Structure 1
Amino acid sequence: MKHLLYIVIFLWIFCYCCFEQRKAFQTQTLISCLLLEKSAFYTKILYFIIFYFLKSKKKSDLSKYFKMERAKKRGKKKEKRIIDMFSKNSSLLQPVFSSFRCFSTRARPPTKTATKTNELRKTTQLKRMLESPQLEYIMEAHSGLSAKIVENAGFKGIWASGLSLSAKLGVRDNNEASWTQVLEMLEFMSDASSIPILLDGDTGYGNFNNARRLVRKLEQRNIAGVCLEDKLFPKTNSFIEKEGGQPLADPMEFALKLKACKETQSDPDFVVVARCEAFIAGWGLDEMLQRAKLYADHGADAILVHSKRSDDAEIEAFMKKWDGRKPVVIVPTKYYKTPTKKFQDMGVSLVIWANHNLRASIKAMQHVSKRIYEEQSLLGVETDKLLVSVNDVFNLTGEPELEEAEKRYLPTQKLK
């Protein structure tokens, strides 16, 4: 009889709730329905009825459930108000789901990635080398492997020589290698080394528009800077003698090309070096100084003074007249007999050893190839230690790191 009485009371409360809310009862939970009713009296009655039938449930559990249901109800009302607001102002606002059960007009902040605070960007490293009070040096490389060798030798920077990159592909240094092919080689060089790379960008592969696009692509590949020369496209190597000399670009046009590159770069430390070819083209000191000052005024981070003389007379004359407003870079390929201390005393900031790894590798390959061909045997080159070991190649290309990574990331059974 007592059970029957509880059932009657239960059904009466149920019907009353449905009548008050004037909508169908959705059988989610009886408690959810009751939360729509404001009467505390009916709530208490139903609470004790449920507690009687669910003796296995603790009172504290039911209390928690009540709180959760009320919170859901408040959350739904809040969401409805915000959705209505967005509907009225859909042209101005756009909801973005966050990780919580609500809407937000702001996206979550980007995840912070772990970075080494003491590790400078490659662009910053190169910029500091140019601004250093002491004379700095960078060495030529033309591949990922040669870039590793340069870094392992102790150099703080790499010169990606246009001559070397072209020769690696077996073509002339006359822009026969496209700029996309150069970018592909640079990507491997950048990945293989942790020191900055300064690209010999020739004339920028066209006018200002080509040059500034080149800058964007170099930044994407973590190249620290580009050196542009004031000659016409397609260029001719500076050490090739041409009847009548090599023609130069209009100085103002080239200066504006430099300006376009500087205004395009996204990294403030990306370096643009202006290479003055006035001495190469047969012009005198006055023309060189005028061009250098114009290029410096249009944003060049440094001035490369090029000379094909076997002595340093042109470089010394320029340094005596230069006002020092920008760092000076030199390439002593022809005047290699000059002691480097003299460059320091002149006030030169950076020396480029421009093509010596390429030339050394050519000589080594020619010698080894000829000897193996003549002897029809490997015995001579191996016993005379003209070659590095295969293990040396593995070490240079990072094979030990892969072996450690396999132990860490591959299942044990796959390693057997």
Structure 2
Amino acid sequence: MRQPAQTCTPAKRLKALLNNRSATAAPGCHDPLGARLIAQAGFDAVSVSGYSVAASHGVPDIGLISGTQMTAQAIAIADAVTLPVVADADTGYGGVNNIAATIKAYERGGVAALHLEDQVNPKRCGAMASKALVSDEEMSQRLRAAVAARHDMLIIGRTDALTIAGLPETIRRCQCMADSGVDAVMVPSLSSLEDIERVVRASPVPVLHTVAETVRPVFTQSELQSTGLGMVLYSISLIQAIVHVQRALLSELKHKGSTAAFIDVMLPLHQLTELLDAKQYAEFESQILGNAR
């Protein structure tokens, strides 16, 4: 159920968070339930991970999820919470007209920001091999199309240059993206605080960092804040934990014939029902049906 409108738009609230340069944590999710949990936990923003959405469909993050699917999922997540939502839009799902249509669809659905990457199609998850980058010209065209099509939503340029061409080229690409009019840049695969600081110092716009706990070193929020980052996306933390717990529970059931060992880590049914706002729906139904009598 859509939340009440607020006078300050999600995009404006997100822009303030980014400009504060305090490494705001934005956990990632693939569905509205995850977004509700993020909001309930007290975070200030939600990120929609393309990797997680693909994984939830049972496929790898190699461009198999369409723009229509990603748009629908991002809109459903934005509809579930009042927090600003930062969504993955891969390479924009086509040429500049497709990119413009993507921007307009995300924005109509209440998404506060999206990020576009500089990979060639078909794209790959940033942690995968066989990635390739588009030219500066094509990258700029994508971003300028996005900026021209948006009204209030923020546009974030993402570069996957680090593992392909190194840090100097990554910094140069960030600067080119800023020249194209983006509100922020996103640099996956940074593995040291020193490298993060170098990117932040060189970037004319706020920088987003992505955390991958099982692949790269893990830093505390305090350490990340000291670098001047605008935001930190914990893009796949939730789905990795979800899959681990589900696999363990299924193994227990299969081999021991019971889920009793997992009762302590299960959310009680009444709490899950509360999380889903069942009471709010029941009250609305009672009000409407009561007035009809």
5 Å matches for 1:109-120?
119-120=7-8
2:161 to 278, 296, 299: 278
Q: Which amino acid aligns with 2:276?
A: T
- 1:353-410, CA deviations, whole angstroms, 9 ceiling, x for partnerless residues? 111111111111111111112222343433xx13112212211111011222233221
Distance apart, 1:412 and its partner CA: 8.3
Aligned to 1:208: 96
- 1:267-299, CA deviations, whole angstroms, 9 ceiling, x for partnerless residues? 2xx111111111121x13332222111111111
Distance apart, 1:247 and its partner CA: 1.1
Aligned to 2:147: 262
What's the secondary structure of 1:215's corresponding residue?
A: helix
Distance apart, 1:205 and its partner CA: 1.5
> Structure 1 stretches of 5 or more lacking a match?
1-114
Is 1:346 the equivalent of 2:227?
yes
Is 1:173 the equivalent of 2:54?
no
Partner Cα distance (2:27, 2:100) in 1:
25
Distance apart, 1:349 and its partner CA: 1.3
1:129 to 8, 14, 17: 17
Distance apart, 1:168 and its partner CA: 0.7
Distance apart, 1:211 and its partner CA: 1.4
Distance apart, 1:133 and its partner CA: 4.3
Partner Cα distance (1:331, 1:218) in 2:
21
- 1:55-92, CA deviations, whole angstroms, 9 ceiling, x for partnerless residues? xxxxxxxxxxxxxxxxxxxxxxxxxxxxxxxxxxxxxx
Partner Cα distance (1:380, 1:355) in 2:
26
Distance apart, 1:336 and its partner CA: 3.8
Is 1:371 the equivalent of 2:252?
yes
Aligned to 2:267: 388
2:177 to 268, 274, 295: 295
1:362 to 231, 235, 243: 243
Distance apart, 1:337 and its partner CA: 2.7
> Structure 2 stretches of 5 or more lacking a match?
none
Partner Cα distance (2:154, 2:253) in 1:
45
Q: Which amino acid aligns with 1:128?
A: A
Partner Cα distance (1:188, 1:318) in 2:
33
What's the secondary structure of 1:159's corresponding residue?
A: strand
- 1:70-115, CA deviations, whole angstroms, 9 ceiling, x for partnerless residues? xxxxxxxxxxxxxxxxxxxxxxxxxxxxxxxxxxxxxxxxxxxxx8
Partner Cα distance (1:149, 1:342) in 2:
25
Distance apart, 1:313 and its partner CA: 4.4
Given the two structures, how large is their TM-score scaled by the length of structure 1? 0.65
Q: 1:192 to 1:241 in 2, by over 3 A?
A: same
- Count of residues in Structure 1 that have an aligned counterpart in Structure 2: 288
Q: 1:258 to 1:364 in 2, by over 3 A?
A: same
The answer as to whether partners of 1:307 and 1:314 remain within 8 angstroms in 2 is no
Partner Cα distance (1:413, 1:120) in 2:
36
Distance apart, 1:169 and its partner CA: 0.9
Aligned to 2:132: 247
Identity among equivalent positions (%) equals 24
Is 1:182 the equivalent of 2:64?
no
